[in-house]
Amino acid sequence: MRVIAIVNQKGGCGKTTTTTNLAGCLNADGARVLVVDMDPQAHATLALGVDPETVEENLYEVLSDPASAARLIDVCIESREHLFVAPSGIVLSALEQKLSAEPVESRTDRLARALETVTEFFDYVLIDCPPNVGLLTFNALRAAREVIVPLEMSYFAIHGVQKLLETIALLSERIGHEVEVRILPTLYDGRTRYARETLSEVREMFKDLCFDTVIRQNVKLREAARRGTPINFFARTANGTLDYSALAVEVEATPPALEAESRDSVVDPREVVVRFRDERASDVRIAGDFNGWVPDKGVRSLIEAEGGDRVWTKILQLAPGRYEYRYVVDGEWREDPDNPEVETTAVGGRNSVLVVR
Ligand SMILES: Nc1ncnc2c1ncn2[C@@H]1O[C@H](COP(=O)(O)OP(=O)(O)OP(=O)(O)O)[C@@H](O)[C@H]1O
Ligand SMILES: [Mg+2]
């Protein structure tokens, strides 16, 4: 059973649309799919044709009491054959408050425990998250092995994503559980130059972490949500169906990689040391394609004073290859001043280049 959380703290970027329509397309390919609606707004529940007002029990019952984990299967509602939804409701917004007195460990693994009881029933679990990084998203990240971050191409703020990836990395570090994050460009309007440029910048920045599939703007997606059905069962030839079907194929073709240890043993990483010197900076991190552009992810840092300067030493574990990176100096992205080798990106930025032999 693959568990995939759809996460972005930005509202309206296509999380719910991605969750329900990817679910529909995986289902059409023959998979048994469960959508877990972790958003108290219950949009995914509605988009799968279930009225949250009329369901008797929802996820709140399952998550509020550790003894109720096994009840998950009882609250699941069949939207169509082999496509189920674990419904949400506004009451879910009270969960954080209700569990506030409990230790972090026990209040953040509620969903993971509940999902353990349904592994034999589903091939895919897709978790729709609310637009914030609170207890509900925390539970989703803990339960998932994979994360899809929908990124709206029309109002893209690269710093917003960096922040989000950083948060995900931090959370997964804190809970000692690694997730594989991938970026999905959404709400793409190829007629505007801005969207085209944004897409190429995102591709360049995230490389393999970015899906090949791009979700175009398509009004039929809104219509499908209103009708309570995934788009592929209602407008077979719409762009929304084509795009989410392509995404389903891509997801099916790329199960999560092997666990980190076995990956590392194959690639034979080397220790690489880089240094950054500055007299004013108070925080310096490094981000590149080697760590998914998440500042300092997987990096050991040392800070020393030398004369009037401070020197940041960054120790990276890299397999032989060519890498692009930048420093993040007090939140500002800069190339390495001591490295003459740079690569100009498609949109005019400059990344420093590091080659490990
Ligand atoms: N590719 C698309 N083309 C056209 N409309 C879209 C597309 N994707 C999403 N929408 C519409 O944009 C709105 C926001 O999308 P959606 O609800 O999926 O975002 P969200 O990230 O789940 O939002 P929230 O953070 O509030 O949960 C919805 O009305 C949805 O129907
Ligand atoms: Mg949503």
Q: Average pLDDT of the chain?
A: 90
Q: Which atom of ligand 1 is nearest to the CA of 187?
A: 1
For residue 23, the tally of other CB atoms under 10 A from its CB is 30
Would you state the pLDDT for residue 73? 96
What radius of gyration, in Å, describes the C-alpha atoms of the chain?
Answer: 22
Percent of the chain at pLDDT > 70 equals: 95
Q: Which of 277, 266, 340, 264 is nearest to 313 (CA)?
A: 277
pLDDT of amino acid 156: 54
Ligand closest to CA 244: 1
Q: State whether the beta carbon of 195 lies less than 6 angstroms from ligand 1.
A: no
Work out whether the CA dihedral 239, 85, 12, 41 comes out positive or negative: positive
H or E stretch at 245:
helix 239-253
Query: Helices then strands (H, E): number in the chain?
Result: 13, 15
Asked if residue 17 has pLDDT above 90, the reply is yes
Q: Is the pLDDT of residue 194 over 90?
A: no
* Distance from Cα 87 to the centre of ligand 2, integer Å: 13
pLDDT at 263 (0 to 100):
43
Cβ–ligand 1 distance for 227 under 6 Å, the answer no
HSE value, Cβ hemisphere, 13 Å, CA-based, for 322: 6
**Domains by residue range for the chain, with CATH:** 2-253 (3.40.50.300), 263-356 (2.60.40.10)
pLDDT tens-place string over residues 248-275: 999 999 888 754 444 444 556 788 889 9
Nearest atom, ligand 1, residue 219 CA: 4
DSSP H/E element including 36 = strand 33-37
| Shortest-distance Cα residue to atom 23 of ligand 1 | 12
Span from the CA of 167 to the centroid of ligand 1 (angstroms): 22
Closest CA to 63 of 108, 4, 15, 120: 108
Q: Tell me the average pLDDT across 217-241.
A: 97
- Give me ligand 1 centre to Cα 92, in Å: 21
**Count of C-beta atoms within a 10 Å radius of residue 222:** 14
Kind and range of the H or E run holding 316: strand 309-318
Please work out whether the CB of residue 189 comes within 6 Å of at least one atom of ligand 1.
no
Higher pLDDT, 104 or 151: 151
Q: Region 159-183: what's the mean pLDDT?
A: 77
278, pLDDT greater than 60 = yes
Q: Which among 8, 10, 13, 17 is the best mutation to test ligand 1's pocket, defined by most ligand atoms within 8 Å of the CB?
A: 17
pLDDT at 174 over 80: no
Helix (H, G, I), strand (E, B) or coil at 173: helix
State the distance from the centre of ligand 1 to the C-alpha of 15, rounded, in angstroms.
Answer: 7
Torsion over CA: 110, 114, 115, 119 (sign): positive
Average pLDDT score over residue span 85-97 = 95
